[in-house]
A and B are shown apart, each in its own frame.
Chain A
Amino acid sequence: MDRAQAPSPAAAPLSPPAVAADSTATPVASLRGAALSYGDRVLWQDLDLDVWPGEFLAVLGPNGSGKTSLLRVLLGRQQPTAGALTVLGHPPRRGGRHIGYVPQQKSLPAHTMLRARDLVRLGLEGHRWGLPLTPGTARRRVDELLESVGATSYADVPVGRLSGGEQQRVRIAQALATDPRILLCDEPLLSLDLQHQRTVTALVDRRRRTASTAVVFVTHEINPVLGLVDRVLYLARGGHRIGPPDEVMTTSALSRLYGTHVDVVRVHGRIVVVGAPDAVPVHHPTGGPNGGGRP
């Protein structure tokens, strides 16, 4: 399988981005020669990637290119087929409180009998067994979190009655409940309008600037996060390319990655990719690369 690999040393993953000014910083997640494949189909391989504290890394690529699977690997829910991986200095463990997770935007079902504040509270202590013992402390923390995303006014509204944008704000408060050092976002902007896309990305961006939380942001659309990302990991056809958006989102880089001519055009500060082959034919085995179906 032909693979487009990062050609220049400038794009080598070892160079920390500008945000991690502290040169002694250690990466929060580190992959070496990592690969993931389902049977014959290679999603990605030879992936060397360091994610630094405070970094905003966007993961792009067509459907079925293994973006969501990469998050599953970082969460310890899936083993890479090859290579070494550490998260916060250890092999990934399931359910660390230091990893926040914002799932794909999709409406919570109507029979979800929870209010916005309850969803946040689950992020805080939903993993604990037994009945809650310190309700006062938890309530105050939940109030703080809701306020920090501007969701106080609908804290007591059932989540099923919130709009998609409101739900995603609550989701971010939920993911930040345990004060994580890594924030993994899986297409959090899907089906949000422009205003809400901006709100959600601004909240994520503030978190990494104020708390040095690393952000791994899976998206199929770079423009909403273009002004914020430090680096892009572009996955396609079993290959990948890592680097600042200006290096990765170019006609030559993406053409090599896709193995066919792709035009990358900049229009009014937005990036338009023309001619990229659509989703690779996907034959998911059980629990395939994207987990659940896409809307």
Chain B
Amino acid sequence: MTPGAESGGGLAARGEDGIWQQIFNFDQYGELLGLVHGSLLAGALLGLVGGLAGVFVIMRDLPFAVHGISELSFAGAAAALLMGVNIVAGSIVGSLLAAAAIGMLGVRARDRNSVIGIIMPFGLGLGVLFLALYQGRAANKFGILTGQIVAVDTPQLSWLVGVSAVVLTALALIWRPLTFASADPEVAEARGLPVRGLSLGFMVVLGLAVALCVQIVGALLVLALLVTPAAAAARLTASPVLLPVLSVVFAFVAMEGGILLALGSAIPISPYVTTLSFLIYLGCRLVGSRRARRARPAAVAGSLPDGVKVDT
């Protein structure tokens, strides 16, 4: 189908069935479902990667960095598209360059934000340049920015699986020291943890995770997978086990739900994913604030265990 025919069909559908038919269309759903099992698998992986990496994005206060990395990932993908090489590889290269720059130049939060603010428009500008030079299908261009599902083919899927495996292994390996270094850097450093090395290491992992998510939800909407689910989970719990589990569940539901809803329609997948993700966050916020209003039982301030002599 050419882009022209696609938009023509869209207009016709709007005339006959109205806008809702265009957004939610479940005709021939069974047949379509058979075509996208690759995408569903990719979605599940992204849910896992996004949900887990998101925990540290929130803990280390990095949402803006995620956005900055995704714009350079977009530039990398656009360059790859223009040169006719693997788009996943292109977006990974872009992501890693951005993550390394942010990690090395922006150690302190204030420096980091300016570094990101400087890198981001540059990346976006490069991306726009490459896309403008690209002569191929318009749908390819649009896909990098706003996501695509049907486009997940077997070679792309094996890339996704491979990179996901690297990200998940790295996260499992550094999970505890990274938690320590993120939540409590001073004491972690006193205990001899390489706090700066962990920070750089996580930026690389984050770069890979962003590059993965860009493939499906697009560069503009990566935050919906890497920030919103973990932020929603943090509204409900502070348990170091429950929090990542909930975050993964939320990212998974947003991702797979988004794919299933988007399946029959002519609209890109991203609005479905971002809307689901946002609704989950709203729900968690509501539940969380209701819970916070019930004040915790007042601790007895002066109570001390036996044998502790308070000097007066």
- Seen from chain A, the residues whose Cβ lies within 8 Å of a Cβ on chain B are 75-77, 93-97, 99, 101, 103-104, 108-109, 111-115, 118-119, 122-123, 125-132, 147-150, 153-154, 157-158, 161, 165-166, 171, 174-175, 184, 195, 198-199, 201-203, 205-206, 210, 227-228, 291-292
Contact = CB atoms under 8 A, between A and B. Distances in A.
A127 B184 CA distance: 12
B304 A199 contact: yes
A126 B243 contact: no
Contacts, number: 138
Contacts of A157: 296
**Which 10 pairs of residues, A with B, have the shortest CB-CB distance?**
A95-B192, A126-B180, A101-B190, A94-B192, A158-B238, A103-B186, A153-B299, A202-B310, A122-B180, A150-B304
B307 to A, nearest CB: 6
B58 A111 contact: yes
Interface in B211-267: 234, 238-240, 243
A198 B311 contact: yes
30 contacts: A95-B193, A97-B191, A99-B190, A108-B184, A111-B234, A113-B234, A114-B179, A118-B239, A118-B240, A122-B176, A126-B179, A126-B180, A127-B177, A127-B180, A128-B176, A130-B172, A130-B175, A130-B176, A147-B305, A149-B305, A150-B304, A153-B300, A174-B187, A195-B301, A198-B310, A202-B309, A203-B308, A205-B309, A206-B308, A206-B309
Interface in B101-121: none
Contact of B238 (A76, A113, A166): A113
Nearest to B238: A158
Given A93-B192, A153-B297, A195 B307 contact: no
Q: Is the interface of B mostly helix, strand, loop or mixed?
A: loop
B299 A128 contact: no
Interface residues of B, number: 42
Contacts of A202: 304, 308-311
A90 to B, nearest CB: 14
A59 B174 CA distance: 36
Contacts of A97: 191
Contacts of A198: 310-312
Interface string B64-82: 0000000000000000000
B59 A96 contact: no
Residue from A75, A76, A113, A130 whose CB has the most chain B CB atoms within 10 Å: A113
B23 interface: no
B174 A129 contact: yes
Contacts of B174: 129
Contact of A113 (B59, B304, B305, B310): B59
Interface of B: 55, 58-59, 61, 172-177, 179-180, 183-184, 186-193, 234, 238-240, 243, 296-297, 299-305, 307-312
B41 to A, nearest CB: 24
Given A75-B190, A198-B310, A161 B296 contact: yes
Nearest to A93: B192
Nearest to B307: A206
A268 B299 CA distance: 32
Given A122-B176, A201-B311, 20 more contacts: A111-B59, A111-B61, A112-B183, A113-B243, A122-B183, A126-B180, A127-B192, A127-B193, A128-B177, A129-B173, A130-B175, A131-B175, A149-B305, A150-B304, A153-B297, A153-B303, A158-B238, A198-B311, A199-B308, A210-B307
Nearest to A102: B187
A91 B143 CA distance: 58
Contacts of B59: 111-113
